[in-house]
Chain A
Amino acid sequence: MSAPGVDSSVDLGGIRLRNPVLTASGTFGYGLELAPFLDLRRLGGIVTKSVSLEPRSGNLPQRIAETPAGMLNAIGLENVGVEAFLKEKLPALPEGLPVVASVFETEIERYARVCERLSADGRVAGLEINASCPHVKAGGIEFGQRPESLAELVRATRRVSRLPLLVKLSPNVTSIAEMARVCEGEGADALSLINTLQALDVDVETRRPRLRNVLGGLSGPAIRPVALRCVFQAARAVAIPICGIGGIGSAEDAIKFLLCGASAVQVGTASYLNPMAAGEVVDGIAAYAARHGFARVRDLVGALELPG
């Protein structure tokens, strides 16, 4: 039930979305897992679990730990691999639902091969390059923390695909604005931010790290103010659209990101505790726009009133 008279549609780097709410990679499986709880067609789109060239089995447990207003994870990019994704997962999703495929690899050349493979399937609406996973031994964040390697990664994936190209950035950098500009300069169509914050927790009874992997990624409401700051800074640094991520569980949370310059948002960890969260965010944004006299949700983007 979207609010009458409100146009919720947005454009995210060439992907036309009926509303600005997607689900974040790694929190929504390949989509169908949540279908018992939520009509997927209500969503703006979904970003699927990162896929790699070959299947990956992930890290040994313990893989998750609850922390204040958040959680740590070190799943290790467990995924079915790009071929099984294309053959088994993608065709099962409802027609007309924009599907952004998240891509993770350990080498630039392999990232490019996954992107090439995904781009050959008409059902993929866009690619999201995961250049920021903090809990695997190789790949991911090592590309996202140095401007030169990030540039190389974006260039290589841009070269093989004409699909809208999103780059998912890490908050674990000195200057998010610089990283955003690097991606824009290499032809990225949009940015997704932020991925999890690299983090650690300890069990004092056993004197061991709570995760087998020692380090993990922090997500949930605890990181929302950090994510908002990153979106705010990135939005002022580049002209390409931004998809805001980080602790979004309600429409109010999502609207903060839109106001700070995000054109769309992704609901992540919140789906774990409330599998209907993304649908509630869709309805709540439209209701807010109607209540505040915005005919188009996209007019909320960057509408933050700064002190004079």
Chain B
Amino acid sequence: MSDPRLPIRCDAEVAENRAESGPNRRLRLRVPGWPGSAPGQFVMLSPGARAAVERQDPLLPRPMAVYRSVACDAGSEIEILFKASGRGTALLAEARPGERVRVVGPLGRGFPDPPAGRAALLVGGGTGIASLHDLAARAAGRTPTRVLLGARTASDLMGGADFEALGVELRIATEDGSRGARGRVTELLEEALAGTPGASVFACGPTPMMQRAAALAAACGAPCFVSLENPMACGFGVCLGCAAPRADGGFALVCRDGPVFEAGEIDWGRLA
């Protein structure tokens, strides 16, 4: 798996916070001392650090994939793509440039490097797309890479143009057919697997999507890695809230043992 870096906790400064598409937003944060992150790692973001007095409601930080980790003149920046969907993300959506957002990270174990010489199929659904950008960037230089992105409708789709800019092969599916193929992204995966023997699959999205991707990959003997998105309170292995049932019994912690797992490690029936 990817090289683990020791996490830091700091107050990051909002560099930019803009509408991405539909309900999605792109948040760029200046993170002093950011040690860099591996593809698939995540951060915990607390909008609570915005005021001098700690916000106590909503209480918990939100786990967010590091969409992009960028070195720049002013230090390190990270980009987060998120959907404003609840109380915490609504606050993040309001954070203005210059305001502070507390960051804990990088956390978790990210994606393994796509093996050279094997086609890499990256499958992202909804906000799960945010976990795949840096993996696509790494895969693109090593091996033929195809990125399959899915959303309910065209305006929900995040990150499309960035993937195009990486020079990977990009295919899109929307459930209402407003962009790309009409249907689910797993239908694109089914086609891609049939035409790409020996491919590896890397998936992040809603649980049913990942479960389907895992089943399709297993049916043709393709290695499959998934990034889970369970709710969690801490992100570093002490709340035990993000437990995912293991296929061999017991639980794995999504924050510490994942978020990326080999699909076969997970007991999908008990996860849902």
Give A residues with C-beta under 8 Å from B: 26-29, 33-34, 36-37, 49, 57-58, 60-66, 68-71, 73, 75, 78, 220-221, 249-250, 269, 271-276
Q: Is the CB–CB distance between B236 and A64 below 8 Å?
A: no
Number of interface residues of B (CB under 8 A): 36
Q: Among B44, B61, B102, B243, which residue has the most Cβ atoms of chain A within 10 A?
A: B243
Query: Can you name the residue of chain B whose Cβ is closest to the Cβ of A67?
Result: B59
Query: Can you name the residue of chain B whose Cβ is closest to the Cβ of A37?
Result: B9
* Closest CB in chain B relative to A41 CB, distance in Å: 18
- CA of A241 to CA of B230 in the docked complex: distance in angstroms? 40
* Closest CB in chain A relative to B71 CB, distance in Å: 22
CB of B19 within 8 A of chain A?
no
Q: Is the CB–CB distance between B59 and A71 below 8 Å?
A: yes
Q: Is the CB–CB distance between A60 and B233 below 8 Å?
A: no
A37-B7, A64-B233, A275-B234 known; A78-B240 Cβ under 8 A: yes
Identify which of residues 222-242 in chain B touch chain A, using a CB-to-CB cut-off of 8 Å: 230-234, 236-242
Q: Is the CB–CB distance between B230 and A69 below 8 Å?
A: no
- CA of A49 to CA of B245 in the docked complex: distance in angstroms? 20
Query: Can you name the residue of chain B whose Cβ is closest to the Cβ of A276?
Result: B9
* Closest CB in chain A relative to B47 CB, distance in Å: 11
Q: Is the CB–CB distance between B241 and A60 below 8 Å?
A: no
Q: Is the CB–CB distance between A272 and B238 below 8 Å?
A: yes
Contacts of B58 in A (CB 8 A): 66
Q: Is the CB–CB distance between B238 and A33 below 8 Å?
A: yes
25 contacts between A and B (CB under 8 A): A33-B236, A33-B237, A34-B238, A36-B7, A36-B236, A37-B104, A58-B243, A61-B243, A66-B59, A69-B59, A75-B239, A75-B240, A221-B56, A249-B54, A250-B54, A271-B238, A272-B233, A272-B234, A272-B238, A272-B239, A273-B233, A274-B46, A274-B102, A275-B9, A275-B234
A37-B9, A78-B240, A274-B102 known; A61-B271 Cβ under 8 A: yes
Give B residues with C-beta under 8 Å from A: 6-9, 44, 46, 48, 54, 56-61, 102, 104, 230-234, 236-245, 249-251, 270-271
Choice from B57, B104, B250 contacting A68 with Cβ under 8 Å: B57
Choice from B104, B243, B245 contacting A78 with Cβ under 8 Å: B243
Q: Among A34, A64, A269, A273, which residue has the most Cβ atoms of chain B within 10 A?
A: A273
Contacts of A75 in B (CB 8 A): 239-241, 243
Contacts of A78 in B (CB 8 A): 240, 243, 251
Task: Supply 8 further A-B pairs (C-beta < 8 A) apart from A70-B59, A272-B238, A273-B233.
Answer: A26-B240, A34-B236, A61-B243, A61-B271, A62-B231, A269-B59, A272-B233, A275-B234
Contacts of A58 in B (CB 8 A): 240, 243, 251
Contacts of A49 in B (CB 8 A): 238
Contacts of B46 in A (CB 8 A): 273-274
Contacts of B239 in A (CB 8 A): 27, 64, 73, 75, 272
Q: Is the CB–CB distance between A61 and B59 below 8 Å?
A: no
Query: Can you name the residue of chain A whose Cβ is closest to the Cβ of B245?
Result: A60
